[in-house]
Amino acid sequence: MNTHRRLVTDLALIFLVSLAFGAARGDELNFGLRAGANYSDNVERVPTNETASSSGIVGVDLVAQRETGRFLYDVFGNVEYQHFFEENVESQTYGQVRAGASYAIVPERFIWGLSGSFDQTRSDLLRPVTPGNLDDVLTFSTGPQWTVRFASALEGTLEGHYVVADYREQPFDSDTLGASAVFGRRPSTLSFIGLGASADQVTYDSDDPQAEDFDRTEVFLRFNAEGVRTTVELDAGYAEIDGETFKDDGPMFRLQATRKLTPVLQGFADYRQEFPTSGGATFSPDSPPQLGTDASVLTGGPRKIEAAELGFRLRATRTEGLLSYLAREEAAIDNARRRDFEVLTASGTYFFAPRASITLFARFTDEEVSGVSSDEQQFGGRISVRLGRLTSINLRVEHRTRDSDNIDGNFAETSGGLFLRYGSPDGAQGWR
């Protein structure tokens, strides 16, 4: 890694920590600190010669948001360190952190934004998530946004961004420089329709053939609407990607929509078809933040994706639930590699006492990477009992199985743990 990239990634880490600290000083923070022990009968998730191991765990989770004022932020994080007591098993950090912030230098006119993330992908997609098969990915983005209004309803927005992506092991470290312009009409304060265009230039540090520099251009129609029960954000248009040895084009869609079906039930939908620029892992924003689950992508190089997710979220007085289905297709632009991924997720929490709850969860995945198919099933549960206003104890059990055409991708594992957590009752602890 060159000095420039090390400086930028260090700044990204400082930004993530500083933003979390700033949020911690406000009233919008939900956080938790946890420590405990875990046991697995197949900690390396291998088909034969399984290694059983206990481990010690320390972790932190937080959710923070500020939606009013000149300084706005949105932070999500769930990270833990797991130390295995078997000498031949590598200790591992699991987790995800997403943080975004903006400051209105001139309110409603000129805004400067910052965002950063810490994600993880599988180094070998033919193997499951295991200690030693995770690659850390750090991203940092910054840039201005300038909005000009004409008459009473016409509006134009210019936006620029610089993005750094840093992979601990894989050869996809990159810089992205881009800009976009959108002009349209705002019929009301909660809706917008307009035309836009964007251009991005992605430059990789490595000479690896999977990481060839490319340019991406898009033209699109933008439609945003927010109602009492429904929100829609849509970009739909045409995109082109151009590298030294490849060129491709096609339709582009980015859609996020939610619908409040009843006072306690919400539906959501997300659809994407695009040539993504460089970045880290990807995970469903409407799923709970699980640790050690699949957030991988086919490649950090030039690729085309098509992904769709549908789901329902339930939040009642004593019951919370989630049901979602995600289908994702990825294809590398400059070779024949392809990944098809489907996942069905279900979870539910019932508060059977004022200070006690039980959570049940299940996840079914079907993945094919360049002709190699794998199916994985995950079942488990958690009982949580609050000992005080900020202290709770959690007992968790889980069983996983994986059947794969790749013999090294098969495994069966049963694990369980006991954890003490201190912090806000509502946080980003997910199933842990």
Q: Tell me, yes or no, if the pTM score tops 0.85.
A: yes
SS3 call for 6: helix
Contact between 31 and 423 (Cβ < 8 Å): yes
How many domains, in total, are found in the chain? Answer: 1
CA distance 173 to 301: 10
pLDDT less than 70: residues of the chain: 1-28, 279-294, 426-432
Helix (H/G/I), strand (E/B), else coil: 64: strand
Phi, psi of 11 (to 5 degrees): -60, -35
Q: Is 45 left (phi over 0), alpha (psi -120 to 50) or beta?
A: left
Interatomic CA distance for residues 303 and 145, integer angstroms:
27
Q: How far apart are CA 293 and CA 403, in angstroms?
A: 16
- At 118 the pLDDT is 85
Measured distance between the N- and C-terminal CA atoms of the chain, rounded to whole angstroms: 34
Dist CA 7 CA 2 (whole Å) = 9
227 in a domain, yes or no? yes
Domain-embedded: residue 430: no
Residue 431 forms part of a structural domain: no
Q: Flag whether 432 is in a domain.
A: no
For residue 429, being part of any structural domain is answered with no
The pLDDT score that the predictor gives to residue 280 is 53
- The DSSP call for residue 10 is H
d(CA 247, CA 207): 19
pLDDT tens column, 136-183: 888 888 999 999 998 788 999 999 999 999 998 889 999 999 999 999
Residue in 398, 387, 321 with CA at minimum distance from that of residue 353: 387
- The CATH number of the domain holding residue 352 is 2.40.170
- Do the domain assignments include residue 391? yes
- What is the residue range of 372's domain? 3-423
Helix (H) or strand (E) holding 37: strand 29-40
